[in-house]
Amino acid sequence: MRTGLEGKTALVTGASRGIGKATALALAAEGANVVVSSRKQDALDAVAAEIRAACPDVGVLARAAHVGDADQAAACVDAAVAEFGRLDVLVNNAGTSPYFGPLADIDAAAAAKTVQVNQYAVVEWTQLAWHRSMREHGGAVINIASVGGMVTEHGIGYYNATKAAVIHLTRQFAVELAPRVRVNAIAPGLVKTALARALWEENEEAIAEALPLGRLGEPEDIAHAAVFLAGSAASWLTGQTLVVDGGSIVRPAIA
């Protein structure tokens, strides 16, 4: 199935590793020019080199930016438009989880950082994409949420609260930016990334056995979903959250 992404330009935040890196590679494999962004330029340069080696016919721009810094965000989006003429796809992937524990004990600094990176950055980068390019040319925005935004969990309740907000922001932006821009989200389950390492590394086999599909997610599982949502096959789909979780939220409750 053709995606219609050839010659388009996609910007992926948090693209130096994990889901972001896999998504950038998958979009490039479909012929899209890619802009990869994260905090560390050296890590981005390595990702850019990997993309160029795998997909020599696409354009690649590596631009460091802290996702929660307004000036750096604007400079990154402006650089993308200057390099490729327009921005067609934005993947809001960057995230953080600086606190593990009960909501009753989270401090203001940890809460503010979680909101700034996971929640408000989605608003800010989407605004930039809209005003710099998508209002005129159209496009697609894909927000990486989490199944945690749909359930309760011990230890990461505040992280999950910000992901629940991302799911609602996806719906709201889908209405406000229509019909020029489609806005959808992906809600991954437990994926084997560095950010989630503490949740799976010591008990991977047992966690996998409890899932209907019998394994944890890989970054590529989410990347494939992002390609679908970015491409022409999803042209009549907006405001939705696609759960990609190996069946975790549909498994039977323990009696």
189-246 tens-digit pLDDT: 999 887 776 666 678 888 888 899 999 999 999 999 999 999 999 999 999 999 999 9
**pLDDT at position 203:** 82
Closest to 8 (Cα-Cα) out of 76, 77, 63, 80: 80
User: What value does the mean pLDDT of the chain take?
Assistant: 95
- Yes or no: say if 247 and 211 are a contact pair by the CB < 8 Å rule: yes
Token pair listed for 137: 């040319």
Residues annotated as part of the active site? 159
pLDDT at 1 over 80: no
On the 0-12 / 13-18 / 19+ scale of CB atoms within 10 A, 190 is: buried
**Torsion angle in degrees (nearest 10) through CA of 235, 237, 241, 243:** -70
Closest to 184 (Cα-Cα) out of 89, 101, 255: 89
Structural domains of the chain, ranges and CATH numbers in brackets: 9-244 (3.40.50.720)
What would the pLDDT profile of 31-79 be if each residue is shown by its tens digit? 999 999 999 999 999 999 999 999 999 999 999 999 999 999 999 999 9
**pLDDT at position 228:** 98
Token pair listed for 35: 């802009």
pLDDT cut 70: percent of the chain above it: 96
On whether the pTM is more than 0.85, the answer is: yes
Q: How much helix, strand and coil, in percent to the nearest 5, is found in the chain?
A: 50, 15, 35
- Yes or no: say if 251 and 210 are a contact pair by the CB < 8 Å rule: yes
Number of other residues whose CB lies within 10 A of the CB of residue 214: 10
10 beta partners: 34, 89
